[in-house]
Amino acid sequence: MAETRDFAAETLFNVKGFVAVVTGGGSGIGLMATQALAANGAKVYITGRRVEALEKAAKEHQPASGEGKIIPIGPCDVTKKDDLARLVETIAEKEKSIQLLVCNAGVSGPKAEPENTDAEDLRARLWDNEEFSDWQSNYQTNVTAVYFTTVAFLPLLQAAMRPKGQLEPYSASVITISSMSGIMRHAQGHFSYNTAKGATVHLTKLMSAEFQKTGIRVNSIAPGYFPSEMTAKESDERQKSHVPEEKIQEKGHVPLSRPGREIEMGMSILYLARNQYVNGEIIAVDGGVLNVLAGR
In the prediction, which pLDDT does 233 show?
A: 83
How many CB atoms are located within 10 Å of the residue 64 CB?
A: 6
Burial class for 101, CB neighbours closer than 10 Å (0-12, 13-18, 19+):
buried
Strands in 282-285's sheet, in edge-to-edge order, are 69-72, 43-47, 19-23, 100-103, 173-177, 217-223, 282-285
In the prediction, which pLDDT does 108 show?
A: 87
Distances (CA, A) of 119 to 122, 123, 125, 127, 186: 5, 6, 10, 12, 18
SS3 101: strand
How many domains in the chain?
A: 1
Q: Which of 27, 108, 173, 178 is catalytic?
A: 178
Residue pair 195/136 in contact (Cβ under 8 Å)? The answer is no
In this predicted structure, the answer to whether residue 66 has a pLDDT above a threshold of 90 is no
Does residue 134 lie within any of the structural domains? yes
Q: At what angle do helices 191-211 and 132-139 cross, to 10 degrees?
A: 30
Beta-carbon contacts of 144 under 8 Å, excluding residues fewer than 6 positions away, are 79
Give the residue among 9, 78, 49, 85 at the shortest CA–CA distance from 266: 9
Q: Which of 108, 139, 181, 193 is catalytic?
A: 193
Catalytic residue status for 197: yes
In the prediction, which pLDDT does 46 show?
A: 98
Phi, psi dihedrals of residue 293, rounded to the nearest 5°: -100, 135
> Cα 8 to the chain's mean position, in Å?
26
In this predicted structure, the answer to whether residue 292 has a pLDDT above a threshold of 60 is yes
In the prediction, which pLDDT does 210 show?
A: 98
In this predicted structure, the answer to whether residue 81 has a pLDDT above a threshold of 90 is yes
Does residue 53 lie within any of the structural domains? yes
Mean pLDDT of 65-74: 94
In the prediction, which pLDDT does 204 show?
A: 98
Q: Which of 197, 208, 225, 241 is catalytic?
A: 197
Amino acid at 181: S
In the prediction, which pLDDT does 167 show?
A: 53
Burial class for 31, CB neighbours closer than 10 Å (0-12, 13-18, 19+):
buried
Pairing type for strands 173-177 and 100-103 reads parallel
Mean pLDDT of 29-37: 98
**Phi-psi region for residue 41, left (φ > 0), alpha (ψ -120 to 50) or beta?**
left
CA dihedral 87, 90, 95, 100 (to 10 degrees): -10
Does residue 10 lie within any of the structural domains? no
Mean pLDDT of 178-200: 94
Catalytic residue status for 178: yes
pLDDT in tens, 222-264: 999 999 888 878 888 899 899 999 999 999 999 999 999 999 9
Does residue 92 lie within any of the structural domains? yes
Does residue 4 lie within any of the structural domains? no
String of DSSP letters for 186-215: --TT-HHHHHHHHHHHHHHHHHHHHHGGGT
Does residue 245 lie within any of the structural domains? yes
Q: In whole angstroms, what is the distance from residue 211 CA to residue 42 CA?
A: 24
Residue pair 129/120 in contact (Cβ under 8 Å)? The answer is no
Does residue 132 lie within any of the structural domains? yes
In the prediction, which pLDDT does 149 show?
A: 98
* Percent with pLDDT over 70 in the chain: 97
pLDDT in tens, 49-60: 999 999 999 999
In this predicted structure, the answer to whether residue 107 has a pLDDT above a threshold of 60 is yes
Give the domain extent around 188.
Answer: 15-292
CATH of the domain at 104: 3.40.50.720
pLDDT in tens, 123-160: 999 999 899 999 999 999 999 999 999 999 999 999 99
Does residue 9 lie within any of the structural domains? no
In the prediction, which pLDDT does 171 show?
A: 77
pLDDT in tens, 154-183: 999 999 986 655 556 677 999 999 999 999
